[in-house]
Amino acid sequence: MTHLHQNLPFSFLLIFSLTTLVSSHSRPYSPPSVTHITNSFPHVTIESAFSNAFGASNVKFLSNGSMATLALDKISGSGLVSQSRYSYGFFSAAIKLPAGLSPGVVVAFYLSNADKFPHNHDEIDIELLGHDKRNDWVIQTNIYANGSVRTGREEKFYLWFDPTQQHHYYSILWNSYHTVFFVDNIPVREFIHKNTPSFIYPLKPMSLYATIWDGSEWATHGGKYPVNYKYGPFVVSLAEMELSGCINDPKSPISSCSKSNPSGLDPVDGAEFTKLSQQQIGAMDWARRKLMFYSYCNDRTRYKVLPPECQ
Protein backbone atom coordinates (compact mmCIF):
# COMPACT_ATOMS: atom_id res chain seq x y z
CA MET A 1 0.00 0.00 0.00
CA THR A 2 2.86 2.37 0.77
CA HIS A 3 4.38 1.68 -2.63
CA LEU A 4 1.05 2.48 -4.26
CA HIS A 5 0.79 5.85 -2.58
CA GLN A 6 4.32 6.75 -3.62
CA ASN A 7 3.38 6.36 -7.26
CA LEU A 8 0.03 8.15 -7.31
CA PRO A 9 -0.41 11.80 -8.24
CA PHE A 10 -0.48 14.08 -5.21
CA SER A 11 -3.04 16.50 -6.65
CA PHE A 12 -4.72 18.92 -4.33
CA LEU A 13 -8.24 18.88 -5.78
CA LEU A 14 -11.19 21.18 -5.33
CA ILE A 15 -14.35 19.45 -6.51
CA PHE A 16 -17.25 21.55 -7.67
CA SER A 17 -20.75 20.17 -8.07
CA LEU A 18 -21.24 18.35 -11.36
CA THR A 19 -24.91 17.52 -10.98
CA THR A 20 -25.93 19.86 -13.79
CA LEU A 21 -23.39 18.50 -16.25
CA VAL A 22 -24.80 17.80 -19.71
CA SER A 23 -23.99 14.36 -21.06
CA SER A 24 -21.32 14.17 -23.73
CA HIS A 25 -23.72 11.98 -25.70
CA SER A 26 -25.87 15.06 -26.34
CA ARG A 27 -23.21 17.77 -26.21
CA PRO A 28 -23.42 19.49 -29.63
CA TYR A 29 -19.73 20.32 -29.96
CA SER A 30 -17.70 19.49 -33.05
CA PRO A 31 -13.98 20.02 -32.42
CA PRO A 32 -11.97 22.25 -34.75
CA SER A 33 -9.49 20.70 -37.16
CA VAL A 34 -5.85 20.70 -36.04
CA THR A 35 -2.56 19.27 -37.18
CA HIS A 36 -2.03 15.93 -35.42
CA ILE A 37 1.03 16.40 -33.25
CA THR A 38 0.84 12.68 -32.45
CA ASN A 39 1.93 12.02 -36.05
CA SER A 40 5.31 13.59 -35.28
CA PHE A 41 6.49 10.83 -32.94
CA PRO A 42 6.85 7.05 -33.19
CA HIS A 43 4.87 4.51 -31.19
CA VAL A 44 6.68 2.41 -28.62
CA THR A 45 5.97 -1.13 -27.51
CA ILE A 46 4.37 -0.70 -24.10
CA GLU A 47 5.69 -3.98 -22.71
CA SER A 48 9.30 -3.08 -23.55
CA ALA A 49 9.16 0.60 -22.54
CA PHE A 50 7.39 0.14 -19.19
CA SER A 51 7.65 -1.89 -16.00
CA ASN A 52 4.95 -2.76 -13.48
CA ALA A 53 4.56 -0.02 -10.90
CA PHE A 54 1.99 -1.83 -8.74
CA GLY A 55 -0.85 -4.33 -9.05
CA ALA A 56 1.03 -6.56 -11.49
CA SER A 57 -1.73 -9.19 -11.49
CA ASN A 58 -4.10 -6.56 -12.89
CA VAL A 59 -1.79 -5.61 -15.78
CA LYS A 60 -2.12 -7.43 -19.09
CA PHE A 61 -0.15 -6.91 -22.31
CA LEU A 62 -1.87 -7.54 -25.65
CA SER A 63 -1.04 -7.47 -29.37
CA ASN A 64 2.61 -8.43 -28.90
CA GLY A 65 3.01 -5.83 -26.16
CA SER A 66 1.76 -2.88 -28.23
CA MET A 67 -1.38 -2.61 -26.08
CA ALA A 68 -2.08 -3.04 -22.39
CA THR A 69 -5.01 -3.13 -19.99
CA LEU A 70 -4.95 -1.98 -16.39
CA ALA A 71 -7.64 -3.03 -13.94
CA LEU A 72 -8.98 -1.80 -10.62
CA ASP A 73 -10.77 -4.30 -8.40
CA LYS A 74 -11.57 -4.40 -4.70
CA ILE A 75 -8.11 -5.82 -3.99
CA SER A 76 -5.88 -3.43 -5.93
CA GLY A 77 -5.48 -0.89 -8.66
CA SER A 78 -2.61 -1.19 -11.13
CA GLY A 79 -0.05 0.86 -12.96
CA LEU A 80 2.93 1.04 -15.29
CA VAL A 81 6.06 3.17 -15.05
CA SER A 82 8.50 3.96 -17.84
CA GLN A 83 11.87 2.27 -17.68
CA SER A 84 13.63 5.59 -18.38
CA ARG A 85 13.46 9.02 -16.82
CA TYR A 86 13.04 12.04 -19.04
CA SER A 87 13.93 15.70 -19.08
CA TYR A 88 11.48 17.17 -21.59
CA GLY A 89 9.63 15.26 -24.25
CA PHE A 90 6.31 14.30 -25.83
CA PHE A 91 4.23 11.68 -24.03
CA SER A 92 0.98 10.35 -25.42
CA ALA A 93 -1.39 7.39 -25.18
CA ALA A 94 -4.62 6.33 -26.82
CA ILE A 95 -6.85 5.50 -23.85
CA LYS A 96 -10.26 3.84 -23.65
CA LEU A 97 -11.89 4.36 -20.26
CA PRO A 98 -14.07 1.93 -18.28
CA ALA A 99 -17.77 2.08 -19.13
CA GLY A 100 -20.62 2.04 -16.65
CA LEU A 101 -21.01 3.41 -13.16
CA SER A 102 -17.53 4.55 -12.15
CA PRO A 103 -17.55 7.29 -9.49
CA GLY A 104 -14.27 7.43 -7.59
CA VAL A 105 -12.32 5.65 -10.32
CA VAL A 106 -9.25 7.63 -11.38
CA VAL A 107 -7.21 6.91 -14.50
CA ALA A 108 -3.95 8.87 -14.52
CA PHE A 109 -1.37 9.48 -17.25
CA TYR A 110 1.37 11.59 -15.76
CA LEU A 111 5.01 12.41 -15.20
CA SER A 112 6.46 12.25 -11.70
CA ASN A 113 9.68 11.80 -9.73
CA ALA A 114 8.03 11.12 -6.35
CA ASP A 115 9.97 7.88 -6.01
CA LYS A 116 13.29 9.72 -6.15
CA PHE A 117 12.28 13.00 -4.48
CA PRO A 118 9.52 12.02 -2.02
CA HIS A 119 9.48 15.38 -0.23
CA ASN A 120 10.04 17.77 -3.13
CA HIS A 121 8.87 15.93 -6.21
CA ASP A 122 7.53 17.31 -9.49
CA GLU A 123 4.45 16.29 -11.44
CA ILE A 124 2.70 16.96 -14.73
CA ASP A 125 -0.70 15.29 -14.50
CA ILE A 126 -3.57 14.18 -16.68
CA GLU A 127 -6.22 12.65 -14.42
CA LEU A 128 -9.46 11.23 -15.81
CA LEU A 129 -12.15 11.16 -13.13
CA GLY A 130 -14.97 8.61 -13.24
CA HIS A 131 -18.63 9.49 -13.29
CA ASP A 132 -21.91 8.47 -11.71
CA LYS A 133 -25.23 8.08 -13.55
CA ARG A 134 -25.63 11.84 -13.86
CA ASN A 135 -22.15 12.84 -14.86
CA ASP A 136 -19.54 12.18 -17.49
CA TRP A 137 -15.89 11.38 -17.09
CA VAL A 138 -13.96 14.64 -16.86
CA ILE A 139 -10.30 15.47 -17.32
CA GLN A 140 -8.20 17.33 -14.77
CA THR A 141 -4.76 18.71 -15.61
CA ASN A 142 -2.23 19.82 -13.04
CA ILE A 143 1.39 20.90 -12.82
CA TYR A 144 3.62 21.57 -9.83
CA ALA A 145 7.21 21.35 -8.67
CA ASN A 146 9.21 20.69 -5.54
CA GLY A 147 6.36 19.00 -3.72
CA SER A 148 4.29 22.19 -3.62
CA VAL A 149 0.89 20.52 -3.97
CA ARG A 150 -0.72 23.46 -2.18
CA THR A 151 0.26 25.63 -5.08
CA GLY A 152 -1.08 23.19 -7.65
CA ARG A 153 -2.34 24.59 -10.92
CA GLU A 154 -5.48 22.50 -11.54
CA GLU A 155 -7.82 23.00 -14.48
CA LYS A 156 -10.80 20.77 -15.29
CA PHE A 157 -12.61 20.14 -18.56
CA TYR A 158 -15.60 18.30 -19.91
CA LEU A 159 -14.95 16.03 -22.88
CA TRP A 160 -16.83 16.42 -26.17
CA PHE A 161 -17.03 12.65 -26.72
CA ASP A 162 -17.81 9.49 -24.81
CA PRO A 163 -14.34 8.27 -23.75
CA THR A 164 -15.63 4.76 -22.97
CA GLN A 165 -16.62 3.86 -26.55
CA GLN A 166 -13.22 3.94 -28.24
CA HIS A 167 -9.62 5.05 -27.73
CA HIS A 168 -8.85 8.79 -27.63
CA TYR A 169 -5.48 10.53 -27.46
CA TYR A 170 -4.28 12.21 -24.25
CA SER A 171 -0.89 13.90 -24.61
CA ILE A 172 1.67 16.03 -22.78
CA LEU A 173 4.32 18.21 -24.43
CA TRP A 174 7.00 19.38 -22.01
CA ASN A 175 10.03 21.46 -22.96
CA SER A 176 11.97 24.46 -21.71
CA TYR A 177 9.43 26.87 -23.19
CA HIS A 178 6.07 25.50 -22.11
CA THR A 179 3.98 22.55 -20.98
CA VAL A 180 0.95 21.77 -23.17
CA PHE A 181 -1.88 19.31 -22.55
CA PHE A 182 -3.72 17.84 -25.56
CA VAL A 183 -6.91 15.82 -25.99
CA ASP A 184 -7.24 14.21 -29.43
CA ASN A 185 -4.47 16.57 -30.61
CA ILE A 186 -6.42 19.68 -29.54
CA PRO A 187 -4.43 21.72 -27.00
CA VAL A 188 -6.67 22.37 -24.02
CA ARG A 189 -4.06 24.11 -21.89
CA GLU A 190 -0.69 25.81 -22.32
CA PHE A 191 1.48 26.62 -19.31
CA ILE A 192 4.19 29.06 -20.45
CA HIS A 193 7.20 28.81 -18.16
CA LYS A 194 8.52 32.34 -18.55
CA ASN A 195 5.30 33.67 -16.99
CA THR A 196 5.89 31.73 -13.78
CA PRO A 197 8.65 31.57 -11.15
CA SER A 198 10.98 28.66 -11.90
CA PHE A 199 10.24 26.93 -8.58
CA ILE A 200 6.64 26.37 -9.75
CA TYR A 201 7.20 24.21 -12.83
CA PRO A 202 9.10 20.91 -13.05
CA LEU A 203 12.82 20.94 -13.85
CA LYS A 204 13.97 17.57 -12.51
CA PRO A 205 13.85 14.40 -14.67
CA MET A 206 10.64 12.41 -14.35
CA SER A 207 9.24 8.98 -15.16
CA LEU A 208 6.01 8.44 -17.08
CA TYR A 209 3.18 6.61 -15.33
CA ALA A 210 -0.14 5.14 -16.44
CA THR A 211 -2.37 4.02 -13.55
CA ILE A 212 -5.90 3.21 -12.45
CA TRP A 213 -6.78 3.52 -8.77
CA ASP A 214 -9.45 4.21 -6.17
CA GLY A 215 -9.85 7.95 -5.59
CA SER A 216 -12.99 7.65 -3.46
CA GLU A 217 -11.63 9.88 -0.72
CA TRP A 218 -11.46 12.98 -2.94
CA ALA A 219 -12.55 12.40 -6.53
CA THR A 220 -16.33 12.75 -6.17
CA HIS A 221 -17.65 15.57 -4.03
CA GLY A 222 -15.13 14.85 -1.29
CA GLY A 223 -15.92 11.14 -1.20
CA LYS A 224 -19.70 11.34 -1.45
CA TYR A 225 -19.74 8.74 -4.23
CA PRO A 226 -17.10 6.07 -3.49
CA VAL A 227 -16.12 3.35 -5.93
CA ASN A 228 -18.85 0.70 -6.09
CA TYR A 229 -17.01 -2.56 -6.71
CA LYS A 230 -20.26 -4.29 -7.59
CA TYR A 231 -19.66 -2.78 -11.05
CA GLY A 232 -16.00 -3.79 -11.20
CA PRO A 233 -13.49 -4.72 -12.21
CA PHE A 234 -12.84 -1.40 -13.95
CA VAL A 235 -10.56 -1.85 -16.94
CA VAL A 236 -8.72 0.84 -18.91
CA SER A 237 -7.16 0.07 -22.29
CA LEU A 238 -3.90 1.68 -23.48
CA ALA A 239 -2.62 1.75 -27.06
CA GLU A 240 -0.49 3.80 -29.48
CA MET A 241 1.89 4.87 -26.74
CA GLU A 242 4.38 7.60 -27.68
CA LEU A 243 7.35 8.43 -25.50
CA SER A 244 9.98 10.70 -27.07
CA GLY A 245 12.24 12.82 -24.93
CA CYS A 246 15.64 13.50 -23.44
CA ILE A 247 16.53 10.37 -21.53
CA ASN A 248 18.19 11.07 -18.21
CA ASP A 249 21.40 9.14 -17.69
CA PRO A 250 21.77 8.31 -13.97
CA LYS A 251 25.54 8.27 -14.41
CA SER A 252 25.54 11.90 -15.52
CA PRO A 253 24.77 14.89 -13.27
CA ILE A 254 22.89 16.54 -16.14
CA SER A 255 20.31 15.28 -18.59
CA SER A 256 21.17 14.36 -22.14
CA CYS A 257 19.11 13.37 -25.11
CA SER A 258 18.82 9.77 -26.15
CA LYS A 259 21.79 8.50 -28.12
CA SER A 260 19.26 6.72 -30.31
CA ASN A 261 18.27 10.10 -31.71
CA PRO A 262 20.63 10.48 -34.71
CA SER A 263 20.55 14.27 -34.57
CA GLY A 264 21.45 14.33 -30.90
CA LEU A 265 18.90 17.12 -30.46
CA ASP A 266 16.01 17.44 -28.05
CA PRO A 267 13.04 15.98 -30.00
CA VAL A 268 10.71 18.72 -28.74
CA ASP A 269 13.05 21.66 -29.24
CA GLY A 270 12.08 22.59 -32.79
CA ALA A 271 10.06 25.68 -33.69
CA GLU A 272 6.93 23.58 -34.17
CA PHE A 273 7.13 22.47 -30.53
CA THR A 274 8.12 25.68 -28.78
CA LYS A 275 5.19 27.76 -29.98
CA LEU A 276 1.59 26.89 -30.77
CA SER A 277 0.42 27.58 -34.31
CA GLN A 278 -2.48 29.93 -34.99
CA GLN A 279 -4.59 26.86 -35.74
CA GLN A 280 -3.67 25.33 -32.37
CA ILE A 281 -4.29 28.61 -30.55
CA GLY A 282 -7.76 28.83 -32.10
CA ALA A 283 -8.52 25.23 -31.12
CA MET A 284 -7.32 25.83 -27.56
CA ASP A 285 -9.53 28.90 -27.29
CA TRP A 286 -12.48 26.77 -28.43
CA ALA A 287 -11.74 24.10 -25.83
CA ARG A 288 -11.35 26.57 -23.00
CA ARG A 289 -14.51 28.51 -23.86
CA LYS A 290 -16.68 25.47 -24.40
CA LEU A 291 -15.31 22.83 -22.06
CA MET A 292 -13.34 24.24 -19.12
CA PHE A 293 -15.39 24.41 -15.92
CA TYR A 294 -12.69 25.00 -13.31
CA SER A 295 -9.43 26.93 -13.31
CA TYR A 296 -7.28 27.83 -10.34
CA CYS A 297 -6.93 31.28 -11.91
CA ASN A 298 -10.63 31.89 -11.20
CA ASP A 299 -10.61 30.48 -7.68
CA ARG A 300 -10.59 33.55 -5.47
CA THR A 301 -11.52 31.50 -2.43
CA ARG A 302 -8.39 29.43 -2.73
CA TYR A 303 -6.06 32.18 -3.91
CA LYS A 304 -6.58 35.54 -2.26
CA VAL A 305 -3.71 36.75 -4.43
CA LEU A 306 -3.75 35.07 -7.81
CA PRO A 307 -0.56 33.32 -8.99
CA PRO A 308 1.61 35.52 -11.23
CA GLU A 309 0.77 33.72 -14.48
CA CYS A 310 -2.94 34.46 -13.86
CA GLN A 311 -2.45 38.20 -13.73
Write the CB contacts of 94 (distance below 8 Å, at least 6 apart in sequence). Answer: 167, 168, 169, 238, 239, 240, 241
Known catalytic membership, residue 240: no
If you count them, how many residues does the chain have? Answer: 311
- What is the layout of strands, in order, in the sheet containing 86-96? 59-62, 67-72, 234-247, 86-96, 168-174, 178-183, 186-192
- For residue 41, CA distances in Å to 1, 83, 147, 245, 267 come to 35, 18, 30, 10, 9
Specify burial of residue 145 (Cβ count, 10 A radius: 0-12, 13-18, 19+).
buried
Which of 47, 127, 154, 217 is the catalytic position? 127
Q: Do the beta carbons of residue 33 and residue 105 sit within 8 Å?
A: no
CA angle 67, 101, 21 (to 5 degrees): 105
Known catalytic membership, residue 190: no
Which of 123, 154, 190, 242 is the catalytic position? 123
Catalytic residues: 123, 127
